[in-house]
Amino acid sequence: MKTRVLGRTGVQVSSLCLGTMMFGEMGNSDHADSIRIIHAALDAGITIVDTADVYSHGESEQIVGKALSEIDRDRVFLATKACAPMGESPTQMGLSRRWIIEECENSLRRLGVDHIDLYQMHRPDPSTDIDETLGALSDLVHVGKIRYFGSSTFPAYQIVEAQWTAERRMRERFVTEQPPYSILARGVERDVLPVTEKYGMGVLPWSPLAGGWLAGTFGTGKANVSRRSARIPARYDMSLPANQAKLAAVDQLTELAADAGLTLIQLAIAFVLAHPAVTCPIIGPRTMEHLDSQLAAADVHLDGDVLDRIDQIVPPGTDLSSTDAGYDPPSITSSWRRRRPSR
């Protein structure tokens, strides 16, 4: 598998990243089978593996740790994440110094390793000053617990703020961003991806198959259901206009893929790979069959005519559904932030 440089770090990683959200209770609860899939991905040339503390409440990290214990650890660039709640206590979440340092130790223990290559902040934390976060992460770099750190699903303005803060306060900086990006969710093309290029950040897009919408199981006359429907109903409720628009786009993309001699999965992943800001899309197989179907996209190159046709189906910079953005800031979710107090 071809490799690409991760931002300006100088580290070479494979053009596909193995995501492990589907290993554990959330997906494949068979640890032995999950480990086989991880090893198969590594044997196919993948060198970067992404997980998170919150995936199956730590179980995914444990599975990844077991898989790594059976191979040469140095073969893998290991990434994990923190921020989401890991318990009922308000201290067990967020991006405070206290929690970042504590949860890093927890992830190291679950993974069974002495360092994490890339420690990512899973979402912004509006209650914590970014300098507090960068200070804690810089300390973890200096003591060797982590090699690099990055952000995930941060709005463009917060990526810029973090870069400026790091420079002014002499902190280590975010070297990567992990945004949602697919043919159906192109909003990051407007600002996030140009900002990452400006600051030389590596980009690891999550959900290149749009939460299963581009996996070949959605379309007119198909079941149009997902294992995630109960957990994220707004993304799969076919009565919603946004999802009807996605369904119409999927029908056109399926036809385009067939005309190009590709599967829809290959078209979808190759589209993400084609953006110059992207380092490696994150594939998230639950089964060996899923892995095989997604690995096949690594060497696909889309010509200009195919990319032009995709632009006609889903215009650049467009999210067909706002629920695919992955994060809504308090300025949107809190009504009091949008209304002047009554006199």
**CA-wise closest residue to 79 among 160, 151, 158:** 151
**CA-wise closest residue to 149 among 188, 193, 180, 104:** 104
Count of CB atoms situated within 10 Å of the CB of 145:
18
Supply 336's token pair.
């009091």
Which stretches does DSSP call E strand in the chain?
3-5, 12-14, 17-19, 48-50, 77-82, 116-121, 146-152, 176-178, 202-203, 282-283
Catalytic positions, written as ranges: 55
Measured CA angle at 271 (ends 176, 219), to 5 deg: 120
**CA-wise closest residue to 129 among 97, 102, 101:** 97
Q: What is the CA radius of gyration of the chain?
A: 20
CA atoms of 73 and 75, how far apart (whole Å): 5
